[in-house]
Amino acid sequence: MSDASFLSSTRADPTTSVAGEEAAAGAVTTARSATAELYRTNLLRLETTELLSESTLHLSPFSGELDREVKWSDDVRRYVETVRLAIESMDATALGPDTAAMPMAVSDDNQTAKKRYWVDLDSDKFRKHVSGSESARWCFPFPGGKGLQIEPIGQYGAGGAGMTNQRGNALCLPMVDVAVLVPSHANVEEEGMIGGKDYLNGRYFDKQNILAIHIAKLLSQKKHRKKIGTVHASIERSDLRRIALILTPPLPEDLSESNAGDEGRSKKRRKGNNDDLSRKDGKKKGKTKKKTRFRVRLVLGMQGNPVAGNFWFPRARIFPDRCNNRVGPSSDRNSPDQSPTPTYTNALARDLHHVSTARTVHAMSKACGAFNEALVLAKIWCLQRGFLRGHDTFDTTSLSVLLVYLYRTKKAGTRMGPIQVFTILMKFIAETDWLGEGDTIDAATATLGGDNEAGARTMGTGDTIRYAPSEGYQGLAVFSAGNGSLKAAIVLPELGLSEAKTIDHCAQGELYHSDLQKNGFDKSHPKTLLDCYKAHVSGPVFLDSTMTLNYFGSISPSFIRELQGEARKAIRSLHLHSDEPSGATSPFRQLLMEGCRFWRRYDAYIHIDLNNIRRYVGTSNVSAQKGAVYDMCAICGANDVGTYESISRSVIKVLRMALGDRVTAIRALTFGNGETDLMQGNNLMLETDQVPSIPIRGASMEEMKSWGVDGDPQSRPVQSPVADGINRRDTLVLGLRINPQTCHRIIDRGPQANDKEAMASFIALWGKEKAELRRFKDGAIVHAVLWNTDVSNTPQGYIKFSGDEKMGGVVERIIRHVINLHFVVPTRQEKSLLVAFGLRNMMSLIEGVSIASNSSSKTSGVDSTAMHKDIMAAFDSLTVFLRRNSIAVPVISGSKETRSKLGLPLAVEAVEPVSPSLRYSELFPPEAQPLLGDGKKKGGGSRVPGVTTGSPIVIQLRLEGNSKWPTDVKAISAAKCALLIQLAEGIETMKRNGSSECWAFNGPIHVTPTYIDLGYRGYSWRIMIRADQEIKLLSSLRKPSAEALELRTILTKRHVASVMHHSMIHSVHTQHPSAGSTVRLAMRWIHAHMLTGLLPQEAIEILVGKVFVDSQPLD
């Protein structure tokens, strides 16, 4: 009994055994995943450690502070000291606009208003000065260099925190930031350079710019030139209205020569030393050529201690709701209600925080060793994407202070490694709602491929007619304001205090509260200073501990949206596991090694001529013509952010509202987006930052005329700050990332008729001529905008390519309409093409076009996509014909004898495509010809309308398996030839018998030993036969001859590799519709450079496929 029970208990239970096997398999999978994750994490740690050791620059203004320093650190400190002594030697004098004037030879006239200046002066004092009145001439005293304070700031002032060498700095030389701090006087009666009400109307910035030119002229004098080198005037990155001085030290060999003197050089000549001769040729015996190691940037600021409340102007003027700049035609001097200027005011406050901010970062760098490493990683990540050193992007100071915030708020710990801190930084940037647009950001993210509810609400399907308020049909004020209650605003905590206690104990916040009670504002006014920042600052808000400086004050909303998108990609890349399909790509390469700057990140690029854009916009063209008020100046005032930045941000906001979910990103070109691959070996001052600069001495007349600013502010052209060679651009460049799932929508449906405010905004956005009343199938009668018309707003006519809507044609039409309607001077709309698309017009190289102008004449062109589809349809039809008619059927009903209609002894198992025409890659796909059996013109034609110049479309037949194939290579080749002959005879026999399936065959049939050429449905086809037995026979040879090896290679490439290649490329083109056009453009480029025979098309297709399949960091 016990034995029986023992036997029964050991009987296997199927359920238990299966569950046990699944548990064991899951444990093995988990162990493998953990092992792979450990390996990937360790590898990432090793890679980042090596990157940090190769790119970190150990440089500090304090000798002996760092354990290891670069060899030339003493040279930096000596050079900064030389500059300090030179500036302190300046004598007291009177300065004025004439100090910043260029030589008379550059000016068109000797009059004051016709002079050209080194800097952009635009204050009310300067406007009166150039008016010509002697009583309005403006000058101010300069007390001399002894009163100036020279302090290291930025990365250098923070003990070298975040400094990198040229390889880790986007091929730019390391920049040493030094501040020239000017004393101030709060009392108007006191005699000083800056004081009183200089904070109003740009006076302070004009004085600083004039002083900067005065310092530059001094340092460029002959007595300082040998020790200081060259001096360039450059635009300050954070504020386009100000300049900075770039000092390039002389080469060490030149400095040694000047110190040695003529006597030392004469002794070397007498001794026969030829070093001087070698220096003339740029060489030196036994030593490498000396090169510049660093540059120094002089930035002007103000003396004072903001922590102690030491300000030279009333502290209440720093509130973001104050208006401190009323200069410009857009301002109404008679109106007491002026628009706030938070960006202008923040620039005033920033000049007081140069030294205190550097000390804050320096203290954090000394307290935590991983801080500097994490800062270097974040800096390299930003540089690879063009997110650093732009006029509306991060600078290293704001990036380092953001890391300090993470440490002080305990989001990052001092024991964490640099990779952990970098991950926390990315997560914090991605998850913080900087603009109060949480719903909008989620929807934009969903359009990139998400299938959540937010995406379902905003995504469009086909050309459906629908209305959704989130697609950009709101009024301008509603769309641009965001939700102030949802907007995040952070404050850097004081050391030892929490963020909340820092806000509660802030003296500036108490002053705002008392000022609010004193003036008695209404209930709609923000109750706290933090809420005031949220309400009046359109960009992100990150305040210092005194709440007087917004570290992110110059950052634009478009940049923060792009930054958050890239931060989300970085998090996904860091969290990928190696056992996932996409985990094979290294996150180290994606995040830190591969560049993805402006010119690589977008689908379309728009060039807008700034010469035809109205500078000060009160009402748009539609308001002037139809009476609809659409105040563009309310978007971004030129008095606050400057003329160019006002135009740039206004255009982006209006386009974002008009395009809605058709695009996922709109971004303007900024500094720091030069391609590093194209800048290697370039020794120009421009470098990859593309910041324009000009030498104070030694500049050519053409350079000075191009750089010089007119004395009359009304006649100054608007220029982009980004340099194009040695000149500044006169165009605004925008990049658009197009949403392929919604960009082809052709109807924008307006709001309901009972919502009068929304309807007025909709009509004001599109114009009364474009927004027309339409009745829809649901019975609603609303205003709508239709984009399927071919008529353009430009006299040149709209160029429409094949598949226009899928390639962003609707987006281009919307942009042309909106720009011409709201931003272009009305008298210039009909004169020139003002909006140029940089990439889509390249499609004319490979696509047929149809130009539709205002006249009735039209020229239709070919559609390459439709031509490829016609070829594929013909291939499918030919495949069905060959497979169906190769199947053996009884000759007579009931008979055992079988025979196929084509007479082939073996059935066709598959018809395999090989030609590029069958995978959307043919540069110029063939067009169907009537005499080859064009299916669209059944019955053929009397003549051929054109000549077929392309190669035949290659396909191959794979026959069913059979053991009766010959065992000799030559016999197999003969059998294949016999099958081809039988195929040709079978088709001719069916045609003679009047088979209805052969109507599409036309033209002669040519048979060769390896292939057969025939015409079917208007196309020329080349059919080959694949015999796997032939390849197996050649592979089984023990000692194959050279001829056998060559034949095996040819057959494998022709019949096996080509089919595998075709299947792979076709799958890429199916998943990414634009891959086919990319291959064809690449082929056109290859042909244009006469490289056709050197690089095969298959190699080009693989290269393009690599870009689409492994699209990081683009995807």
DSSP, collapsed to helix, strand or coil, labels residue 889 as strand
| Residue 872 burial class via C-beta count within 10 angstroms: exposed 0-12, middle 13-18, buried 19 and up | middle
Task: Please report the pLDDT score of residue 529 as a whole number.
Answer: 92
Nearest Cα residue to 1024 out of 976, 963, 987: 976
Q: Do 54 and 168 meet the contact criterion of CB atoms below 8 Å apart?
A: yes
Alpha helices in 507-642 (DSSP H): 507-519, 529-536, 557-575, 587-588, 598-601, 621-626, 638-641
Q: Do 192 and 143 meet the contact criterion of CB atoms below 8 Å apart?
A: yes
Task: Please report the pLDDT score of residue 64 as a whole number.
Answer: 80
Cα-to-chain-centroid distance, residue 443:
20
Tokens of 879: 């495949």
Task: Please report the pLDDT score of residue 177 as a whole number.
Answer: 94
Q: Do 533 and 549 meet the contact criterion of CB atoms below 8 Å apart?
A: no
Mean pLDDT of 723-749: 80
Nearest Cα residue to 816 out of 770, 751, 758: 770
Nearest Cα residue to 663 out of 451, 836, 444, 478: 444
Alpha helices in 158-228 (DSSP H): 203-219, 222-228
Q: How do residues 506-515 score in pLDDT, each as one tens digit?
A: 999 999 989 8
- Residues 546 and 319: their CA atoms lie apart, in Å, by 12
Cα-to-chain-centroid distance, residue 540:
20
Nearest Cα residue to 871 out of 764, 777, 955, 804: 955
Mean pLDDT of 366-387: 93
- Residues 748 and 786: their CA atoms lie apart, in Å, by 7
Q: Is the pLDDT of residue 263 over 70?
A: no
Mean pLDDT of 48-54: 92
Q: Do 515 and 316 meet the contact criterion of CB atoms below 8 Å apart?
A: yes
Of residues 683 and 708, more confidence is placed in 708
Mean pLDDT of 985-1008: 89
Amino acid identity for residue 1018 in this structure: G
Q: Is the pLDDT of residue 517 over 80?
A: yes
Q: How do residues 838-883 score in pLDDT, each as one tens digit?
A: 666 677 778 766 544 444 444 445 678 888 888 999 999 999 999 9
- Residues 663 and 737: their CA atoms lie apart, in Å, by 6
Alpha helices in 220-341 (DSSP H): 222-228, 252-270, 275-280
DSSP, collapsed to helix, strand or coil, labels residue 607 as strand
Of residues 1047 and 836, more confidence is placed in 1047
Parallel/antiparallel/unpaired status of strands 908-913 and 541-543: unpaired
Alpha carbon of 48 to those of 205, 385, 569, 575, 593: distances in Å?
42, 18, 18, 16, 11
The helix (H) or strand (E) run that includes residue 42 is helix 14-55
Non-local (6+) Cβ contacts of 135 within 8 A are none
Task: Please report the pLDDT score of residue 1053 as a whole number.
Answer: 93
Mean pLDDT of 578-594: 68
- Residues 461 and 744: their CA atoms lie apart, in Å, by 9
Task: Please report the pLDDT score of residue 829 as a whole number.
Answer: 52
Task: Please report the pLDDT score of residue 373 as a whole number.
Answer: 94
Least confident of 138-147, 257-266, 921-930, 988-997: 257-266
Q: Is the pLDDT of residue 5 over 60?
A: no
- What are the backbone angles phi and psi of residue 621, rounded to the nearest 5°? -60, -40
- Residues 186 and 194: their CA atoms lie apart, in Å, by 8
Amino acid identity for residue 622 in this structure: V
Look over the chain and give the mean of its residue pLDDT values, rounded to a whole number: 79
Q: Is the pLDDT of residue 73 over 80?
A: yes
Tokens of 424: 């926390």
Mean pLDDT of 804-808: 70
pTM recorded for the entire structure: 0.83
Alpha helices in 886-994 (DSSP H): 969-992
Amino acid identity for residue 836 in this structure: A
Over the range 546-562, which residues count as b (16 or more CB within 10 Å of their CB) and which as e? bbbbbbbbbbbbbbbbb
Q: Is the pLDDT of residue 274 over 90?
A: no
Task: Please report the pLDDT score of residue 38 as a whole number.
Answer: 59
Alpha carbon of 827 to those of 198, 629, 820, 830: distances in Å?
39, 20, 11, 7
Mean pLDDT of 539-551: 94
Q: Is the pLDDT of residue 1090 over 60?
A: yes
Q: How do residues 93-137 score in pLDDT, each as one tens digit?
A: 999 998 998 887 666 555 555 788 888 888 888 888 887 777 778
Q: Is the pLDDT of residue 183 over 60?
A: yes
Task: Please report the pLDDT score of residue 703 as a whole number.
Answer: 83
